[in-house]
Chain A
Amino acid sequence: MWREKTFRFGFVLVLAILVLCVCLPWIVPQDPYTQNLEEISRPPSFSHPFGTDFFGRDLFTRILYGGRSSLTIGLVVTFFAVAIGTIIGMISGYFGGRIDAALMRFVDVMLGFPRLFILLTVIGFTRPSFGLMLVVLSLFSWMEVARVVRAEVLSVRERLYVKSAVALGLNRRRVLFRYIFPNILGPIIVSATLMIGSVIVIESGLSFIGLGVQPPDASWGTILNQGFQDLAGAWWITLFSGLAIVVTVIGFNLVGDGLRNVLDPKTGERES
């Protein structure tokens, strides 16, 4: 796996961002909320590597704190979306017949709704909050995973080792979780990794238009929005928050692509 360049590069990138965001209090001494009216909109310098914002807060600190929100949403939403998608996909693929038809039509209906429109509607009717965003994003992100998992289950359940397991008289739960699930884990991990990036982008978009993380809490989307108000005067705010989003999303996508190459027998060596 480590020989795969794409994976290696993405992994190092993601690890660096995660370490920076998690170990934040030990790295940067500044408080992300303390305003300093003497240092309003300062360009990047030695004391403020990413400059300061309109309230004189250190942008490097804000972006790293914002990374915590964005990554938390990315990881938590992906976890729940993958869990829901995996359960529905496995039930659909394994049991087939009417259960499969009903679940897949439900997936079609869910995919038929424009996701952003639904998100805006739901969040628009209530007060935007971190928890609400987690719930809504999780509930509207699982469909692709369900389809991938269903397709994998359909293929794996025809394998002889699954037939042998059925012939041993094992119950369905044991066949599903001992014989099918471990063998579809590769594609699930790949789609999960790729999903983290897309969730971060959606979260940034929602926060950008003011429906995601609410100020004074930092998120890459809210910082981007702030910078947008004076793009010519304080360009660094938009640049660095935008870069944080791009680099993180690229990192997760590279890890996902790399894993796909490693786990796909047609393009790479199969994990064993």
Chain B
Amino acid sequence: MFWIRKPASGNRKMKSNTDREKLIEVKELTVRYRQRNGFGLREKTVEALKDISFFIHRGETLALVGETGSGKSTIAMSILHFVSPDSGKVLCSGEDIWKYKRAELRAYHRKVQPVFQNADESLNPRLKIRLALADAVDPTLSSEEKSLRLRDCLSSVQLNEDILTRFPHQLSGGQKQRVCIARALATGSEMLVLDEAISSQDLSLQAHLLKLLLELKKKLSLTFFYISHDLETVRVIADRVGILKDGRLIEIGDKNEIFNSPKESYTQLLLERSRF
């Protein structure tokens, strides 16, 4: 796989948390949504995120857990530069992503790629897979290099080349999600924002995708921001875990710390519920 980004430092030893580079840092992020009533006369403000601060180290997997409506996806959308903060910052390697110029933003987008829950909705229904993936590949490459890269992308997510000529509706749910992952990798991304990326699949497929993600992470030294309501998958994939409740980050820490000795009663409740 010639195209794959070289790991930042090949066989480095795991540094302590304080020494490691912060790829993404979220500082005091607050996001409000404005809702209008039926006649559009009165405006109501809903605070989706309140004063959220955390960071993601290069090469780690930070998982964010919370119930529906707790603000998980809003954080993902802010990191992906789709939802602007009302206050606070999102920094990438120390630079505020909301101050990027257009070219810098494009480069940032290619570096931080999303994989959404709904693979059906994530692929343009009018575009064959070959074109969908080709759009992700660096446009400055020659056509030979591009096709080689496409093949590499597909093999890295264990898909056959024959799907290249198909439309998204001709693929199964699992194949579509693999195509989405391949597309996210084809840009040469350093980080994947996995927003409930495997939640909608059946259990056996979830296990396959988890294994695949772990392999890719190891092989490509990727950073994952993994959002889920499912603690079991979080236990497998995460290095650190954050717990979100009503738009507030109530607890964040090492995976073992959160799973074995949670401090907050809400975290304990979530863990108890997940055992059933």
Q: A168-B183, A168-B187, A169-B187 are in contact. Are A161 and B124 (CB under 8 A)?
A: yes
Contact check, A183 vs B80: say whether CB atoms are below 8 A apart.
Answer: no
Contact check, A183 vs B124: say whether CB atoms are below 8 A apart.
Answer: yes
Distance in Å: Cβ of A34 to nearest Cβ of chain B: 52
Contact check, A183 vs B125: say whether CB atoms are below 8 A apart.
Answer: yes
Contact check, A272 vs B125: say whether CB atoms are below 8 A apart.
Answer: yes
Contact check, A164 vs B122: say whether CB atoms are below 8 A apart.
Answer: yes
Question: What A residues does B187 contact at CB under 8 A?
Answer: 168-169
Contact check, A179 vs B106: say whether CB atoms are below 8 A apart.
Answer: no
- Quick check: is B31 within 8 A (CB to CB) of the other chain? no
Chain B residues numbered 167-194 whose CB sits less than 8 Å from any CB in chain A: 167, 169, 180, 183, 187
Chain A residues numbered 256-272 whose CB sits less than 8 Å from any CB in chain B: 272
Question: What B residues does A165 contact at CB under 8 A?
Answer: 124, 135
Contact check, A166 vs B116: say whether CB atoms are below 8 A apart.
Answer: no
Interface size on B, residues (CB 8 A): 25
Q: A178-B127, A272-B169 are in contact. Are A168 and B116 (CB under 8 A)?
A: no
Contact check, B126 vs A164: say whether CB atoms are below 8 A apart.
Answer: no
Contact check, B126 vs A160: say whether CB atoms are below 8 A apart.
Answer: no
Question: What B residues does A163 contact at CB under 8 A?
Answer: 80, 82, 114, 116
Question: What B residues does A179 contact at CB under 8 A?
Answer: 124, 127
B104-145: CB near A (< 8 Å → 1, else 0) gives 001101101110101001111111000000011000000000
Question: What A residues does B109 contact at CB under 8 A?
Answer: 166-169
A207-236: CB near B (< 8 Å → 1, else 0) gives 000000000000000000000000000000
* Residue of B with least CB distance to A174: B135
Contact check, B110 vs A168: say whether CB atoms are below 8 A apart.
Answer: yes
Distance in Å: Cβ of A155 to nearest Cβ of chain B: 13
Once the chains are docked, how many angstroms separate the CA of A193 from the CA of B136?
Answer: 36
Question: What B residues does A97 contact at CB under 8 A?
Answer: none
Once the chains are docked, how many angstroms separate the CA of A63 from the CA of B237?
Answer: 75
Chain B residues numbered 82-106 whose CB sits less than 8 Å from any CB in chain A: 82, 106
- Quick check: is A159 within 8 A (CB to CB) of the other chain? yes
Contact check, A161 vs B121: say whether CB atoms are below 8 A apart.
Answer: yes
Chain A residues numbered 166-199 whose CB sits less than 8 Å from any CB in chain B: 166-171, 174, 178-179, 182-183
Contact check, A272 vs B167: say whether CB atoms are below 8 A apart.
Answer: yes
Q: A169-B110, A178-B127 are in contact. Are A160 and B80 (CB under 8 A)?
A: no
* Residue of B with least CB distance to A172: B102
Distance in Å: Cβ of B249 to nearest Cβ of chain A: 24
Once the chains are docked, how many angstroms separate the CA of A159 from the CA of B122?
Answer: 8
Contact check, A160 vs B110: say whether CB atoms are below 8 A apart.
Answer: no
Question: What A residues does B114 contact at CB under 8 A?
Answer: 163-164, 167
Once the chains are docked, how many angstroms separate the CA of A117 from the CA of B135?
Answer: 49
Question: What B residues does A166 contact at CB under 8 A?
Answer: 82, 109
* Residue of B with least CB distance to A164: B122
Once the chains are docked, how many angstroms separate the CA of A140 from the CA of B109?
Answer: 41
Once the chains are docked, how many angstroms separate the CA of A3 from the CA of B80?
Answer: 44
Once the chains are docked, how many angstroms separate the CA of A106 from the CA of B73?
Answer: 37
Contact check, B122 vs A183: say whether CB atoms are below 8 A apart.
Answer: no
Question: What A residues does B126 contact at CB under 8 A?
Answer: 182-183
Question: What A residues does B110 contact at CB under 8 A?
Answer: 168-169
Question: What A residues does B113 contact at CB under 8 A?
Answer: 167-168
Once the chains are docked, how many angstroms separate the CA of A174 from the CA of B131?
Answer: 12
Contact check, A164 vs B116: say whether CB atoms are below 8 A apart.
Answer: yes
Contact check, A170 vs B82: say whether CB atoms are below 8 A apart.
Answer: no
Once the chains are docked, how many angstroms separate the CA of A159 from the CA of B106?
Answer: 19
* Residue of A with least CB distance to B122: A160
Distance in Å: Cβ of A13 to nearest Cβ of chain B: 29
Question: What A residues does B107 contact at CB under 8 A?
Answer: 169
Q: A160-B116, A161-B124, A272-B125 are in contact. Are A168 and B82 (CB under 8 A)?
A: no
Contact check, A160 vs B121: say whether CB atoms are below 8 A apart.
Answer: yes
Once the chains are docked, how many angstroms separate the CA of A178 from the CA of B136?
Answer: 13
Once the chains are docked, how many angstroms separate the CA of A130 from the CA of B169?
Answer: 47
Once the chains are docked, how many angstroms separate the CA of A160 from the CA of B125?
Answer: 11
15 contacts between A and B (CB under 8 A): A160-B122, A161-B121, A161-B122, A163-B82, A164-B183, A167-B109, A167-B114, A168-B113, A169-B109, A170-B135, A179-B124, A182-B126, A183-B124, A183-B126, A272-B167
A-contacting residues of B (Cβ < 8 Å)? 80, 82, 106-107, 109-110, 112-114, 116, 118, 121-127, 135-136, 167, 169, 180, 183, 187
B-contacting residues of A (Cβ < 8 Å)? 159-161, 163-171, 174, 178-179, 182-183, 272
Q: List the 8 closest A-B pairs by CB distance, nearest first.
A: A169-B106, A182-B126, A160-B121, A169-B109, A169-B110, A161-B124, A160-B122, A167-B109
